[in-house]
Amino acid sequence: MESLTKRQRKVLRCAVQSYIQTAVPVGSHYLVKTFPLDCSPATVRSELSNLEKMGYMHQPHVSSGRIPTDKGYRYYVNHLMRKSTIDEQSDQNIRSRMDSAEGDVKRVVVEASRILGQISEELGVVLSPWLSWAVFDRLELIGLSYGKVLVVIHVKNRMVKTMVLEVESDFNQEDLYRTASVLNERLHDLTLEEIKHSIVRRVEDTQEIYRPLMRRLVESASHLFNFSEPLDIHTCGTQNILLQPEFSDMRLLESMFDLIDDRTELIQLFHRNIQKTQVTIGIENQDDRLVPFTVIKTVYRRGNDRGTLGVIGPTRMEYSRILPLVDHIARTVSEYLS
């Protein structure tokens, strides 16, 4: 990404902020009149032209002002944005609403989606916690009848899962003990998600261990280490999208509602491994239906479990206000579920 001069950065920041607030293409006279740029309209016009050539701004029509591109929004979010803070009164209001959920997971999740939608004035989305991030404690192998073994998996501070596996040949107690010992040593303190993706590599050198049994366990890893209940996703604020001027275009509106109705795809969008707040702007989204939108999402926690929450709205989003809001709601939800 090109290096911008100090003045170009200032003009771009003001142009993005102006368009976010007004949804009106930005002109040089308006910027000079509205912001302390300390330069003439002609100079600002020249810098807007330079920013357009570099791909940060776009002029819809020859006679119109300019609007930020996805690249312009990205530069603004990464380098120019000044995040607002959540004031004490807003925090108290959020906590008061969370108190009404009385610690019930589903009620907390539903209330969080409502708070996100109402305060952000975008579409609030909360995906319920999933157990794939729970931490493995130990595994037991118990011989049953010929060729059958009972697998008992313990997850730290939570639950136990049992599953009967059929193995193509018989085994003795020593085979069971040695296989369980190797797995417990190599999988200890890993999350279930990590185990599912790395178990082959972690046991590939165990040729001396009873192979039919180990092979069967590895083949069944995706089922053995799947403790998750069906994922549940909650949304609030569809009406906020209807009020955005961008969506006077019915094609964009249909695209948005098509995505909201596609619960499987929406769950997939938020059920991805992220470690921190993620902002995906316009063409950065993999789903073509999301190209007119920005997706902001982050992780909240319930013990060792994780869930995801965030907002979806037009790329002309009030990033400086919504980013800290999403982070604050995630911290608050984590606190109420701990």
Is the domain of 122 the same as that of 239? yes
Centre a 10 Å sphere on the Cβ of residue 112 and count the other Cβ atoms it contains. 28
Q: Exposed/middle/buried for 86, CB within 10 Å: 0-12, 13-18, 19+?
A: middle
Q: Which two tokens stand for residue 123?
A: 């579409």
As for how many domains the chain has, the answer is: 3
151 and 236 co-located in one domain: no
Q: Is residue 15 part of a domain?
A: yes
Is 107 domain-assigned? yes
- Given a contact cutoff of 8 angstroms between Cβ atoms, the answer to whether 114 and 100 are in contact is no
Are 116 and 170 found together in one domain?
no
**Cβ neighbours around 285 below 10 Å, total:** 19
pLDDT on residue 114? 96
Q: What residue ranges of the chain have pLDDT lower than 70?
A: 1, 131-133, 157-158, 207-210, 228-230
According to DSSP H, which parts of 204-311 are helical? 211-219, 221-224, 238-242, 250-261, 263-270
pLDDT at 25: 95
- Those residues with Cβ within 8 angstroms of residue 89's Cβ, 6 or more apart along the chain or in another chain: none
Q: What is the pLDDT of residue 106?
A: 86
- Measure the CA angle with vertex 248, ends 243 and 252; round to 5°: 100
Pairing of the two strands 278-281 and 293-302: antiparallel
pLDDT at 172: 86
139, 150 Cβ separation under 8 angstroms? no
Residue ending a domain, choose from 80, 96, 123: 80
Q: Does 209 share its domain with 244?
A: no
Which of 209, 224, 239 finishes a domain? 224
Domain match, 192 and 327 both: no
Instruction: Based on the fold, state whether residues 311 and 250 are members of the same structural domain.
Output: yes
Is the same domain home to 95 and 235?
yes
CATH number at residue 190: 3.30.390.60
Structure confidence at residue 228 (pLDDT): 65
User: pTM of the entire structure?
Assistant: 0.77
Same-domain status, 33 and 168: no
CB atoms near residue 185 (< 10 Å): 9
Q: Are residues 159 and 274 in the same domain?
A: no
Same domain (yes/no): 308, 218: no
How many residues appear in the chain? 338
**Rounded distance, CA 85 to CA 239, Å?**
26
Domain final residue pick, 224, 257, 280: 224
Residues 21 and 115 in one domain: no
Q: How far apart are the C-alpha atoms of 25 and 294, rounded to whole Å? A: 19
Q: How far, in Å, CA of 204 to CA of 164, rounded?
A: 23
For 82, the token pair is 């000044």
pLDDT at 88: 94
Same-domain status, 323 and 252: yes
> Is 1 part of any domain?
no
Q: For position 117, which CATH number holds?
A: 3.30.450.40
pLDDT of residue 319: 98
Q: What's residue 85's pLDDT?
A: 93
CATH number at residue 44: 1.10.10.10
Q: Are 282 and 293 in contact (CB under 8 A)?
A: yes
- Give me the domain span that covers residue 156: 135-224
